[in-house]
Amino acid sequence: MKFYKFFFLFFITFFINQNLKAQEIINDSLTEKSYGYLIDSFYKNLKDTAIAKVYARAYLKKAEKNKSFTYKLYGNFLLSQYKNDYREFHVFCDSLIKIYESQKKYDFLIKIRSQKANAYEVKKLKNKALKEYLAIKKIINYYKNDSIYEFVNYRIGTIKLANKQYKGAKDIFNDILKKKKTNSNNPILTYKIYNKLTLIYSLLKKYDSAYYFLDKGYGIPYQYKSLEHTRTLLYYNAKLKFEEKKYDIAIKHLKRYIKFIIPDHVAINRLSYCYTLLAICYDKTNNYKEAKRFHYKVDSIYKKENIINPEIEKTYYFLIEKSKDENNLTEQLNYLNSLIDINNYNNKINQELNRSLSENYNKPKLISKKNEIIAKLQKKANRNQLYKLLYGTGILIVLLILIYQTKRKRNYKRQFLKLIEEEQNSNTVSFNNTTLTPKQDSYKISKEVSKTLLNKLDLFEKNKGFLNPEINLKKLANSLNTNSSYLSKVINQHKQQNFANYINQLRVKYIVNELKHNTTFQKYTVKALAEEVGFKSAESFSKAFYKFTNVKPSYFINELKKINSN
């Protein structure tokens, strides 16, 4: 036993070491790849944390090997991102900030705070990200850098836009454009600002200004255009048509844009948003079927990826109304729960009540509606429980009846075969006797008298005197020249049963034999058979027949007919 334990531990240790060595080899080979390749591979495999971890570690290892501060910082960010836990990264950044603040190394401080702000933005903590960018603006007073100034202001403008502070965002983006004319020339940042301004003016319903900046975006020099640039312009064009309520044109642009979206970690957010916009467009153009299909897609993404887009609440307004029309309380409750969760999330992120909720769907009413549906479902569940109980009881009763009937038929068959076999083997039929325990009487019958009476009873049986419907103990005693007491005692002691059972058993035995050999009798009714053997009613005959054979006369006759037909 010890040997097996040792072998098992050795095998596990060997396997782990080999795994670690293989991991090290993989990391070493990946460090030869470019930073861009490692980042792309990381995000493509972000859902598979084990693979994402490999690329994150390879990125960090490459950065340490090259002694690059910026890349090391980003490598640590990637390690936090695959875990989806940035607490260690924030502590790491704070420790670096203390070091470089004392050394007044502003370029390092800007990089650290930028990356820290990026981590906050990933977690949707926009206010904390904003604080970091404002801290960077203060640093810029000591460390003049126009490109960093533009970048920081761009991020602040983006956060304000996300918080629906359209005027503040617009002013920041326009200010960057004015300063860019005299300070620097960064076409990539410029076209991003054009896109943001297109969106803002469309939301402010200033469509002429929106189209002006959209055209500016299309006018970016060819050498700076990329696939991302092209598809983003297409997206903002679609969004502008949507805001103008040109829903048919918006549908075409949105569908074209969706074809461009690569289903990766970044695109899934925009995909969810586009599906909601498409669903709204179809709803506005009275295409309920397509509207429902795309709202379902949004719900599916939310459930799988927990993706919340800016218009997602409209998806759940639609789905709640649909389930209400279909009287589907369970679906209605599920959609209400999702809407409440989204509402709570938005309130937490924005630190204010979500103004997009309508009068019919403000938070207190949502909770009230949820409780109302839960109460209805509980009532329905209780009613269903009662129905199930009654249904289950009914099924149990039916099953018990079926089991009883099956068992009875099986017993009937067994007893029938027994009756047939006994007759074939010995030409006699044995019955279930209702026996009596012989009792000591106050007087005794001599052996000679008993023998005489038994001989007379044998003759009575041969002559089939028991078929006489008027026969009784007194009449039989008179015909045998004895008294009733003597005859009753002899039958009890020697036939082991009382007079009534004795006569009934003889009658049943007789009719069983007749039925087996005389097919004419098989055509008789039960009542006719009863009269044939001296019973006064079909009921008393059936009871006696069952008592001595364990089968009903009708069953016995039917089984005989089956044998004869074969």
Residues 297-339 pLDDT 10s: 999 999 888 888 888 999 999 999 888 888 888 888 888 888 8
Distance of CA 76 to the CA centre of its chain: 39
Per-residue pLDDT of 510-543, as tens digits, reads: 999 888 888 888 889 999 999 999 998 999 999 9
Task: Give the pLDDT score at 357.
Answer: 34
**Residue 327 included in any domain:** no
**Residue 544 included in any domain:** yes
**Domains contained in the chain, number:** 1
Per-residue pLDDT of 361-387, as tens digits, reads: 555 666 676 677 777 667 766 676 777
Report whether pLDDT(442) > 50.
no
CA-to-CA dists, residue 214 to 138, 196, 240, angstroms: 33, 9, 9
**Residue 471 included in any domain:** yes
Residue pair 430/548 in contact (Cβ under 8 Å)? The answer is no
**Residue 463 included in any domain:** yes
Per-residue pLDDT of 37-60, as tens digits, reads: 888 888 777 777 788 888 888 888
Task: Give the pLDDT score at 354.
Answer: 36
- Coil/strand/helix, residue 351: coil
Report whether pLDDT(257) > 70.
yes
Which alpha helices (H) appear in 125-180, and where do they start and end? 126-140, 146-162, 166-180
Task: Give the pLDDT score at 441.
Answer: 47
Residue pair 190/174 in contact (Cβ under 8 Å)? The answer is no
**Residue 475 included in any domain:** yes
Report whether pLDDT(481) > 50.
yes
Task: Give the pLDDT score at 362.
Answer: 56
Residue pair 184/173 in contact (Cβ under 8 Å)? The answer is no
| Alpha carbons 101 and 108: distance in angstroms, whole number | 9
Six token digits for residue 178: 């004015």
> Which of the four pLDDT bands, split at 50, 70 and 90, describes residue 144?
low
> Which of the four pLDDT bands, split at 50, 70 and 90, describes residue 224?
low
Six token digits for residue 140: 């810029």
**Residue 457 included in any domain:** yes
Task: Give the pLDDT score at 466.
Answer: 92
Report whether pLDDT(221) > 50.
yes
The CATH number of the domain where 545 resides is what? 1.10.10.60
Task: Give the pLDDT score at 358.
Answer: 41
Residue 506 belongs to domain spanning: 429-565
CA-to-CA dists, residue 406 to 195, 382, 540, 546, angstroms: 81, 35, 25, 17
Place of tokens 């897609």: 297
166-184 mean pLDDT: 79
**Residue 273 included in any domain:** no
Task: Give the pLDDT score at 377.
Answer: 67
Place of tokens 């679609």: 238
438-446 mean pLDDT: 57
**Residue 489 included in any domain:** yes
Residues contacting 429, CB < 8 A, separation 6+: 419, 422, 423, 509, 512, 513
For the entire predicted model, the pTM comes to 0.52
Nearest-5° angle of CA 344, CA 349, CA 354?
55
| Alpha carbons 11 and 330: distance in angstroms, whole number | 52
DSSP 392-424: HHHHHHHHHHHHHHHHHHHHHHHHHHHHHHHHH
| Alpha carbons 78 and 480: distance in angstroms, whole number | 117
- Single out the residue of 385, 388, 316 nearest to residue 354, CA to CA: 316
